[in-house]
Homo-oligomer: A and B are copies of this chain.
Amino acid sequence: MPFWQQDLESMSQEQIQKLQLKKIQNQVSKLYKDNTFFKKKLDDIQVKPGDIKSLEDVKYIPFTYKEDLRNNYPTGLVCGNWDNVIRIHMTSGTTGVPVAMAYTKNDLDVWADCMARNFVAGGLHSGDIVQQAHGLGLFTGGLGFHYGLERVGAKVIPTGSGGTERQLRLMKEWGTTVFTGTPSYALYLAEIAMEKGIDPVKDLKLRLGFHGGEPCTDEMRRRINERLGYTARGGGMRRCYGLTEMGGPMSMDCHYATGIHLWADHYMVEVINPDTGEYTPPGEPGELVLSNLSFEAMPILRYRTGDRVIVDFSPCPCGRTHPRITNFLGRVDDMLLVSGTNVFPSQVENVLLQQSELSENWQLMVGDNKGLHTLRVEVEPMPGVIISEKYIKDLEGKLHDFLEIRCKVVIMPVGSLARFEGKAVRVVDERKKI
């Protein structure tokens, strides 16, 4: 399989480290000169840009937290020439102040190249006809995918999300070979196809899918592959990685599916113990910390992603030499504290999607019964399947083993749980906020 930028993607470790040092020194100098917030942070701990003499010294650069971006919204973290900014993206801000990112032309080019690397590593070529169904707008996902696909030279049909029957009609009319959208939307598309008498495996020409916007389990990816008759990339447990603070979606797995390729010439990767801030030993889990080495408008350094991962720094069999996230152990943000126990919704999904009797639609309700937290898992059987009381008890047992906390399984009528054309919302926390 070809590369998008072979020289850069297969640099030696020595080359990567040399480039990273040069780039991070440049970012620190620029930020120190141009951004008062960053300058104050460095001044407070009496570090000067010149103190960063080797990659070991990067640990002297203070961490950046999501709160820093929120407190400096909208433009407090812009660095250098605001005049060169040509794009602004942001999160919805439904849970508070939005997180915004500003881009120069060069930043958009870096981003599009990273996405193009991911797509080519996953098997996309310029002959492909792509229906891009991540919503186009303020979120980074839609336009991030769009510009990357266009850069590869694939034929992009920019449908955006929704209009499922029309998506299916276009797939037939244009012989669409690649679909991009959230994993849950891919499954919804398969469901509607079957309802409309379209067999995606026989009637459509899809061969690849690239999925972002939300995590999904390996089992969910297996179902997507089976029902749409293609190979899903980015499906699986967080096999597409990105965050607005780093510019948007940036990393995906390659056709060897050995982990998410991070692009070390543009993003510096560190893995730390979230409690001490010290590096964890190689191969050990820890919190992912990222620094944007190439962006001009708003480079964020040492960003605490809140993602617990294992990173492999050895080369991939595909020939790419950059680090890979091989295990995604959950997000601190997604973690629920239920009667003193940590529960990751992904753990629940992992158990549920191994049940061939159940559809991939589910919901986790967290309740409060006089101070005692309760977990209720609502699931739907596959059409025509009858669920017995014994089956429910067994499933509750499995969930208990896995979560180390009791939860109640409730069988809902087929088709009654919410379907999502965008990012799926699986958790409803009904506990009173203190």
Contacts and interface: CB of A to CB of B under 8 A. Distances in A.
Interface of A: 73-75, 83-89, 102, 105, 126-127, 129, 136-138, 142-143, 150, 153-160, 173-174
Looking at A102, A136, A143, A160, the one whose CB has the most chain B CB atoms below 10 A away is A136
Given A74-B173, A83-B126, A136-B136, A89 B158 contact: yes
A147 to B, nearest CB: 10
Given A87-B150, A88-B156, A88-B157, A136 B142 contact: yes
A125 to B, nearest CB: 10
A340 B174 CA distance: 41
B138 A74 contact: no
Given A87-B156, A136-B158, A136-B160, 6 more contacts: A85-B155, A86-B126, A88-B156, A88-B174, A136-B143, A137-B160
21 contacts: A73-B173, A74-B174, A75-B174, A83-B126, A84-B153, A85-B155, A86-B126, A86-B150, A87-B150, A87-B155, A87-B156, A88-B155, A88-B156, A88-B157, A88-B174, A89-B158, A136-B137, A136-B142, A136-B158, A137-B158, A138-B157
Contacts of A136: 136-137, 142-143, 158, 160
Contacts of A85: 155
Nearest to A73: B173
A143 B127 contact: no
Number of copies: 2
Looking at A126, A137, A138, the one whose CB has the most chain B CB atoms below 10 A away is A137
Contacts of A143: 136, 158
Contacts of A155: 85-88, 102
A154 B83 contact: no
A122 B129 CA distance: 36
A411 to B, nearest CB: 36
Contacts of A137: 136, 158-160
Nearest to A157: B88
A217 B154 CA distance: 40
* Closest 9 A/B residue pairs (Cβ): A136-B136, A137-B160, A88-B157, A85-B155, A86-B150, A87-B156, A74-B173, A86-B153, A74-B174
Nearest to A129: B88
Nearest to A84: B153
Nearest to A125: B83
Contacts of A173: 73-74
A75 B150 CA distance: 19
Nearest to A127: B83
A213 to B, nearest CB: 16
A238 to B, nearest CB: 25
A154 B89 CA distance: 14
Given A83-B127, A86-B153, A150-B87, A158 B174 contact: no
Contacts of A142: 136
A86 B154 contact: yes
A129 B75 CA distance: 12
Contact of A138 (B88, B89, B105, B159): B159
A155 B102 CA distance: 9
